[in-house]
């Protein structure tokens, strides 16, 4: 979404210093393999074979901008929170295996962090790489790790469990499948290339070994970068522009709303955030029976460009008091965009960073599709919960969606060089 496309430090691969690992063989970076493949292809088509190569070294075909995008693993915050949304995403939760505790969890997070660092740099996994992404660049890969409520009892760290991680309340719109919610550990993967994203998913699953098992996994997508003539806020599967009023880092209270302060409690969550994850089924057959005008009244914005029904462009401030010739509100009282506004919810705000999903068509011909809703906030009790409670009481969109899975995860701050994510918790 354009509003939430907050760039992290990204470095094109052709400007990066070579790896200083000094390793050879399978440890060669994907960037270098790409260059080698490009050179070899040119040589094989040249007269003289090896002699031609020796006399005139061929240049590697450069990565396109899509493949060359790189996010940094190490930093104040974990990647994948303020990063621009990627074209492909995987959300996966793990449960620790019976008998696995704090020691095994620490070893796992250490392995996962190293694998994420390597893959985000365009390098293969250290052990048993599958070669799925051998000829690809990093493609803006991000990997984000979090802890669920149950993780702390499993590892004997109950005293370190944040109050903000208390289970979410029940909502009237919930029809939750418990098997597809929660979990000890949560991983978010995003990339602008489907194979790069899958490669990371597979590498992390293999890294889990005997320490943890997949509890649930969901796959999502967004519009590919460059698919529109100009940058714009993304659309969801209802065809609506989605994410216009996301908080922006230029706003003075952005960090306060989205991230736990460095002096916050518990100390291991400094510079971290809380992710609410919801699988929201869109009842598309019902939605698509509505006229465009009726759809716009449900949302409170024009479908064509996302502008508020009160007038202007997408980013024009919505006039909640404007009336039509008959004296009715131009933006209906139960319009989704009206209800979710921070100024209608005591200032509650969250950074939405979702993926769409489509998991096939059922026997009745109904698409199993919708939104993998992921939102970030410093405290879900001040972010997601008040907004969802307000929606529960009369959102015009509610008849057209169904909340089918839910999870809440504590996502610690970023790892410093030489450290792994969650180290302050697991070794503190």
Please work out, in degrees rounded to the nearest 5, the angle formed at the alpha carbon of residue 73 by the alpha carbons of 154 and 424. 40
Ramachandran bin of 226, using left for φ above 0, alpha for ψ from -120 to 50, beta for the remaining angles? left
Q: Which of 184, 192, 207, 242 is catalytic?
A: 242
| Residue 103: count of CB within 10 angstroms of its CB | 11
Alpha carbons within 13 A on the beta-carbon side of 178: 2
Cβ neighbors of 276 (< 8 A, separation 6 or more) are 168, 350, 373, 374, 375, 377, 380, 383, 384, 406, 407, 408
3-state secondary structure of 202: helix
Which letter does DSSP use for residue 64 in this model? P
255 is catalytic: no
| Residue 126: count of CB within 10 angstroms of its CB | 17
| Dihedral, 333, 336, 342, 348 alpha carbons, nearest 10 | 120
Q: What is the DSSP string of 230-250?
A: S----B-TTS-B--TT---TT
- From 382, 145, 141, select the one nearest 247 (Cα to Cα): 382
**How far apart, in whole angstroms, are the C-alpha atoms of residue 254 and residue 385?**
18
Catalytic residues: 242
């Amino acid at each position: 979404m354009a509003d939430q496309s907050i760039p992290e430090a990204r470095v094109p691969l052709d400007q990066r210093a070579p790896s200083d690992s000094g390793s050879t063989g399978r440890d060669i970076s994907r960037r270098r393999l790409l260059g080698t493949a490009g050179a070899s292809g040119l040589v094989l088509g040249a007269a003289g074979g090896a002699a031609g190569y020796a006399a005139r070294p061929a240049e590697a075909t450069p990565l396109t901008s899509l493949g060359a995008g790189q996010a940094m693993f190490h930093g104040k915050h974990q990647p994948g929170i303020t990063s621009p949304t990627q074209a492909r995403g995987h959300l996966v939760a793990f449960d620790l295996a019976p008998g696995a505790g704090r020691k095994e969890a620490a070893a796992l997070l250490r392995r996962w962090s190293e694998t994420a660092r390597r893959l985000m740099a365009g390098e293969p996994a250290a052990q048993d790489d599958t070669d799925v992404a051998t000829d690809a660049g990093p493609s803006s890969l991000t990997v984000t790790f979090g802890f669920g409520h149950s993780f702390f009892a499993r590892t004997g760290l109950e005293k370190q469990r944040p109050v903000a991680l208390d289970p979410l309340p029940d909502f009237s719109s919930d029809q939750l499948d418990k098997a597809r919610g929660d979990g000890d550990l949560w991983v978010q993967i995003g990339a602008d290339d489907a194979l790069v994203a899958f490669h990371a998913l597979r590498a992390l699953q293999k890294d889990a070994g005997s320490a943890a098992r997949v509890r649930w996994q969901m796959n999502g997508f967004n519009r590919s970068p460059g698919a529109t003539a100009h940058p714009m806020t993304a659309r969801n599967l209802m065809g609506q522009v989605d994410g216009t009023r996301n908080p922006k880092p230029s706003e003075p209270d952005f960090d306060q709303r989205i991230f736990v302060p460095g002096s916050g409690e518990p100390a291991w969550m400094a510079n971290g955030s809380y992710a609410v994850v919801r699988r929201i089924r869109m009842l598309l057959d019902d939605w698509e029976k509505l006229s465009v005008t009726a759809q716009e009244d449900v949302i409170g914005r024009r479908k064509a460009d996302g502008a508020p029904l009160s007038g202007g462009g997408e980013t024009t401030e919505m006039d909640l008091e404007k009336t039509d010739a008959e004296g009715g509100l131009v933006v209906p009282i139960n319009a989704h965009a009206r209800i979710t506004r921070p100024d209608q919810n005591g200032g509650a705000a969250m950074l939405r960073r979702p993926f769409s999903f489509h998991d096939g068509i059922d026997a009745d011909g109904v698409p199993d599709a919708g939104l993998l809703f992921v939102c970030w906030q410093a405290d879900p009790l001040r972010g997601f919960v008040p907004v969802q409670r307000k929606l529960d009481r009369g959102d015009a969109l509610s008849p057209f969606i169904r909340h089918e899975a839910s999870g809440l995860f504590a996502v610690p701050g970023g790892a410093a060089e030489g450290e792994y994510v969650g180290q302050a918790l697991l070794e503190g």
